[in-house]
Structure 1
Amino acid sequence: MAAGRPGQGGATILETGVDFAVWSRKSGQIELCLFGDDDKELARLPMKRGDDDVHRLFVDGLKEGARYGYRAGGVYAPDDGLWFDPSKLLVDPYAKELDRPFHYDPLLGTSGAETQHLVPKAIVTRDVPVKPGKPLFKPGGFIYEVAVRPFTMLHPDVPQAQRGTVAALAHPSVIAHLKRIGVDAVELMPITAWIDERHLPPLGLRNGWGYNPVAFMALDPRLVPGGMAELRDTVAKLHAEGIGVVLDLVFNHTGESDRFGTTLSLRGLDNLSFYRHLTDRPGELVNDTGTGNTVACDNPYVRQLIIDSLRHFVLGAGVDGFRFDLAPVLGRTAGGFEANSETLMAILADDVLSDRVMIAEPWDIGPGGYQLGNFPAPFLEWNDRVRDDVRCYWRGDDHKTGPLATALAGSSDIFSRNGATGTRSVNFLAAHDGFTLRDLVSYSGKHNEANGEQNRDGHNENHSWNNGAEGETHYPDIIRRRRDDLKALLSTLFATRGSIMLTAGDEAGRTQRGNNNAYCQDNEITWMDWAALDDELIAHTAFISSLRKRFSVFSETGFFDGHGDVEWISPSGQPMSVQEWETPNFSTLGMVLSTRDGQGGKPARLAVLFNRSGGEEIFALPGPSSWRLLAPNGQEKSATSAIVPRRSVAFYLGS
């Protein structure tokens, strides 16, 4: 055994053994613990601290597949932010594979309680690099957000053993569905190892979404039992079908939570360095995330850990990019959010990451936490303004005609800052947080009783409506009205300029029974019931998705210049007047676009006509074009005027 060679972290397989390295500035002694297949501790070996605070050890003769963890000694003084407790087995922050999932137990947060039997062991693995090609997903494309486990748990064609796993995403039936609706990239909700929040086990509940990570690189064995090989194979199969893969990663907090949480990894290794604390009270964690702790992403070691984690998934699996949960934390420093923070700039400048798609959820709950439009280009950003404005328009709220047009045009009011000429918006109407799209038109209020918090959790304002009955109903008229509203919402989303995102099942009427905070429902509430999907809605989604691909005017990201590229009309066929724009309850809007019919096709005009009223509307279509209604059955009907049914969006092609 020797002190080891330079390196920031992790286990590196060398010719004659394995080199271990782990960073900790505040600890006393770090010990490497080796385990046998029977989970018994075989050895506890002291590591040597270097001048860079990296503790190192080379173990001669050790091979791939060895299982290990760390213990950190030092001062235990939580009021001072020091949590060193040698009774706690700690997971390597650079662990790339774990031998089991995390399961919450109160002993994980009990001082002096041995946790060796509770904590997953890291496995020494050898990297298998791939040569990543250019990302398949391009800004302006269609992203499909997938919660991996719920997505295929009930899929009848997927073998029972594969259901709920990453491998299931590559099943031919799943791929056929993705291709039918024209998905450009799947965005996988967290698949790295996570732990349940401590209040869930007593309620008999489990976290089914994974937004409570412990390890940033290690894949969760529940979702990816085949490890990186499974992810790599799935990415390759999706790529072969022209579908990109984006990973939703959580670097803003960890499952160690607040002061009363667990000691699993970063807290036990160096709590003061890894997490943000109040300047005058070092024992008090900053909670900019609402989950109990906030990762100190401006710490140089944490910054490198983030970069190395991203590189790991690109070089090891060939993923196309990343979505960052509560992304302002990545730009937080002692002075607040900084768009040009060292961490954000390092992500964009890295030679492996510079061409990947980066997507920010541009808000957290800390001071100055709402940063929509403020991330550095080329970051794409989730646009909740589009979500709320489009919802409110179709709900019938006053003064929403202008905001609808702004959303359709790419939100230049937000993304044209600092002279930008194109949108970075990711437009969406529903996401994993909040109502499903069907529940949006079926419930006036949230119904989260199953979460065990007396319906106190989840957002209270959802900009939703129920069409005459709260929740499920057998009234055919209400069912039809809801389906019409869903079609109108989907059509509106696919007609927006920029990138769009749809959550899995929203194309088919998936419900969560009014639960708008279903992270803890790893059951039929969130599992996608493939047998109950609405094929009429799926066919409608496939149709409008095909229009989006046929007419690139939607997926282009440059802002309209107003010189013939777009015209806003009223039912008269004339440009919208100031009075019409300002009429509180104006119920119609026409968007006439200059485009080409197909890639490299002939110049054409496309009219997208919106009618949120309760009755049919007739639009006069502007000349001199001849116009044809674009219908899902492929039959284009000639027209000089457009009849737009109640609560709908119609597409007319002019030449």
Structure 2
Amino acid sequence: MPTTPDRLEPGSPYPLGATCDELGVNFAIFSAHAERIDLCLFDPSGRREIARLTLPECTDQVFHGHLPLARAGLLYGYRAYGPYEPRRGHRFNHHKLLLDPYARAIHGQVRWSDALFGYRLNSNRADMSFDRRDSAAAMPKAVVTDDSPIQPPSRDGRTLPRVPWSETVIYEAHVRGLTMHRDDIRPHERGTFAALSEPAIIEHLAKLGITSIELLPVHAYLQDRHLLEKGLRNYWGYNTLSFFAPEPRYLSDGSRDELRMAVNRLHAAGIEVILDVVYNHTCEGSELGPTLSFRGLDNASYYRLVDGNERHCINDTGTGNTVNLSHPRVLQMVMDSLRYWVTFYGIDGFRFDLGTTLGREPSGFDPGSGFFDALRQDPILSTKKLISEPWDIGPGGYQLGNHPPGFAEWNDRYRDGVRRFWRGDPGVRGDLAARLSGSGEIFDRNGRSPWASVNFLTAHDGFTLEDTVSFNERHNEANGEDNNDGHSENFSNNWGAEGETDNEDILAVRQKIKRAMLTTLFASHGTPMLLGGDECGRTQGGNNNAYCQDNAISWFDWSLAATPEGQSLQAFVARLIAVRRDYPVIRCKSFMHGRSEPAPGVMDIAWYDERGEGMTPEAWNDPEGRRLNLRRAGRDANGAVEVVSLLINGSAEDALFTLPPPVLAWRRVIDSADPWRAWETLDGEGFMVAGHSAVVLAGYIGEGG
């Protein structure tokens, strides 16, 4: 850039961040308690500070200034001056270079050093001490970007998939883990957005019938010091450093266009992109953590602090701090971030990590919190898919079903109920029925629909599907915590051997159980979510907390997809998704209550035992009940009554199911015990269902089909 002036022009307090215009770059940053903020400019390497200029104006607690003739690509950071009074919640230390919370790109990585801390680490006064070492050499730098001439992808909406919730099938995956073992992708592109946009990856998703890929966090995040010291890495990415910048490691050539291209190519294939986002905490951790950005700019505004003892952060998240979304400027930052990912990158939705935290006001969790209200009224964000993880470790932290209309929620009761049924637990048949029908007792209120329940058997946190049928205990020794981390109860069953085995009988049962569980998932009301790799038998060797395993433990083993077992399971999953797509009564848009008759004597939903008799209270309460027939009916687009029966046999023995009237010409469309069975038309009132399996039958009353 030209010679740097010795002072900044006043500039504008809006928009926040670094914004290019025809005359230079405007810088604006919020702090309610800072006395002064300096803009620090760096050479292209990011190693040498070339100028330090005080932001000359402060308007409504926004410090701002304009740098004439500056251009995109400039590297910068901030230093904030103010009181260092931890007991009052203030931790200003101008010796620490701070990353702009609105940085849209980042140059370099955090290089761990004691200088990153605002206090002297070894002082007997702990965080009440003050550290005067300069942290700039250890800090990444923000990059000025010029987003204005780049039109958001698919702004006119013509190429956005816009998949209705009732047709949505989610595939949870990790950008890095999904492609690290792809030999057909150039080595430097593996694990990046460039690899995600490869035709082979998109073709795999499309063949399965996936409508929406949900990516683990892609915001720039911090590598934990304690993990690096143990030779491990933060793999999942729930440790956000910047809410606007993509993780640099996921860009093979450093260009953000790589992410935009991946989104566009997925959209062209009809696949939405949902991001797992972490706005509940930041990577700065507790009051004993480093000073990297928010803490040094305005600790008392950005974080929730203990009332009456503001030295300490409230830790509702289990990570040391909790972002203060009750503050209007902090809420604005989160909303600006979400809109940016939609308008610049074309993102179709968000899964909010620890969503209960985001809805917690000082009085507790509130479905009408400022965050939820802001999202629901926003003309851009309210049209996107919004998914919450409805729990945290704070008071009243479990809020499944209590989110406002417009939100879907991860349903862990679905996961646990289905696992318990198929491993053979007594007395869970009634709970399984509730999960199959969309968990209406949880979600059927305030005008919500079955899709509000995101049904999953497995997710990134916990066992894979293969491990659920292969291990009774967690095996997290590689995490370096003496196998004490992760869930202790996984509702799993190894079926006779812990882990790998050559016993053909055990292997056969495991495969049957996996197919039965998958059939249950895709035949349930609600939104199904498949963990990436479950369609191929991916294993983590029993590790149910692989957050720090950026290696083969976590990465997708694509060699499994080429095995006969892997190919068979993929084909079966694709068939399940196709059946769900072809029979709308399986993915209905509203809850069924057994009070309407699509045809005379045929209720919209009804439950029977294997004898074809309606379920009685005694039957529901039978602890040894292992068999169930769920029949659903509804009119199709042609006016015919579509009837689908799901026959579930959770016992080890084969069972004859007698179907209640009317007698139809049934089509057996799914048989989890015989995945290659051709679709066939069957006559009669009785059907044999193999042990540990599920069958889907479809028929019509009247013309149609």
Which interval holds the TM-score relative to the shorter structure? over 0.9
Which letter does structure 2 place at the counterpart of 1:644?
A: V
Q: Deviations over 1:581-640 (max 9, x none)?
A: 11101110111121467x658433211111111111111123321222225554314242
- Tell whether 2:174 aligns with 1:147: yes
Q: Deviations over 1:354-396 (max 9, x none)?
A: 2111101111110111111111111111111111111111111
Which segment drifts farther, 283-292 or 170-179? 170-179
Q: 1:112 to 1:415 in 2, by over 3 A?
A: same
The counterpart of 1:571, out of the listed 610, 618, 633, is 610
Correspondence list, 1:243-262, <5 A: 243-262=271-290
Tell me what 1:9 maps to.
Answer: 16
Equivalent pair of 2:352/2:389 in contact (CA under 8 Å): yes
The 2-side partners of 1:385 and 1:180 are apart by 29
Equivalent pair of 1:551/1:595 in contact (CA under 8 Å): no
Measured after TM superposition, the shift of residue 419 of structure 1 is 5.8
Tell me what 1:586 maps to.
Answer: 625
The 2-side partners of 1:104 and 1:555 are apart by 50
The 2-side partners of 1:101 and 1:596 are apart by 57
The 1-side partners of 2:186 and 2:111 are apart by 26
Using the size of structure 1 for normalisation, the TM-score is 0.97
The 1-side partners of 2:363 and 2:255 are apart by 39
- Tell whether 2:70 aligns with 1:26: no
- Tell whether 2:71 aligns with 1:48: no
The 1-side partners of 2:244 and 2:30 are apart by 16
The 1-side partners of 2:261 and 2:387 are apart by 24
Measured after TM superposition, the shift of residue 176 of structure 1 is 1.2
The 2-side partners of 1:114 and 1:488 are apart by 59
Measured after TM superposition, the shift of residue 218 of structure 1 is 0.5
Please state whether the residue corresponding to 2:256 is helix, strand or coil.
Answer: helix
Tell me what 2:591 maps to.
Answer: 559
Please state whether the residue corresponding to 1:535 is helix, strand or coil.
Answer: helix
The 2-side partners of 1:620 and 1:273 are apart by 65
Tell me what 1:405 maps to.
Answer: 433
Which letter does structure 2 place at the counterpart of 1:643?
A: M
Equivalent pair of 1:495/1:554 in contact (CA under 8 Å): yes
Measured after TM superposition, the shift of residue 43 of structure 1 is 0.3
Tell me what 2:220 maps to.
Answer: 193
The 1-side partners of 2:86 and 2:586 are apart by 54
Measured after TM superposition, the shift of residue 21 of structure 1 is 0.4
Which letter does structure 2 place at the counterpart of 1:48?
A: P
Equivalent pair of 1:136/1:239 in contact (CA under 8 Å): no
Measured after TM superposition, the shift of residue 227 of structure 1 is 4.2
Measured after TM superposition, the shift of residue 4 of structure 1 is 1.1
Correspondence list, 1:223-622, <5 A: 223-225=250-252, 226-418=254-446, 420=448, 422-533=450-561, 534-562=566-594, 563=596, 564-595=603-634, 602-622=640-660
Q: 1:106 to 1:393 in 2, by over 3 A?
A: farther
Gaps of 5+ in 1: none
Which letter does structure 2 place at the counterpart of 1:167?
A: A
Q: Deviations over 1:5-48 (max 9, x none)?
A: 13152001011110000001112221101111132111011113
Tell me what 2:144 maps to.
Answer: 124
| Aligned residue pair count | 654
The counterpart of 1:645, out of the listed 690, 693, 704, is 690
The 2-side partners of 1:561 and 1:571 are apart by 21
Correspondence list, 1:199-214, <5 A: 199-214=226-241
Please state whether the residue corresponding to 1:544 is helix, strand or coil.
Answer: helix
Q: Percent identity?
A: 45
Tell me what 2:127 maps to.
Answer: none
Q: Deviations over 1:552-589 (max 9, x none)?
A: 12222310031311121111122223222111011101
Q: Deviations over 1:319-377 (max 9, x none)?
A: 11111000112111111111101121111111221211110111111011111111111
Which letter does structure 2 place at the counterpart of 1:291?
A: T
Please state whether the residue corresponding to 2:116 is helix, strand or coil.
Answer: helix
The 2-side partners of 1:227 and 1:276 are apart by 35
The 2-side partners of 1:135 and 1:251 are apart by 26
- Tell whether 2:135 aligns with 1:115: yes
Please state whether the residue corresponding to 2:248 is helix, strand or coil.
Answer: coil
Q: 1:475 to 1:629 in 2, by over 3 A?
A: same
**Larger RCO (CA under 8 A, 6+ residues apart):** 1
Q: 1:319 to 1:492 in 2, by over 3 A?
A: same
Equivalent pair of 1:153/1:528 in contact (CA under 8 Å): yes
TM-align CA RMSD: 1.6
Q: 1:103 to 1:570 in 2, by over 3 A?
A: farther
The 1-side partners of 2:42 and 2:622 are apart by 72
Tell me what 2:669 maps to.
Answer: 630
The 2-side partners of 1:24 and 1:166 are apart by 34
Please state whether the residue corresponding to 1:251 is helix, strand or coil.
Answer: coil
Measured after TM superposition, the shift of residue 479 of structure 1 is 1.3
Q: 1:132 to 1:556 in 2, by over 3 A?
A: farther
Which segment drifts farther, 96-105 or 415-424? 415-424
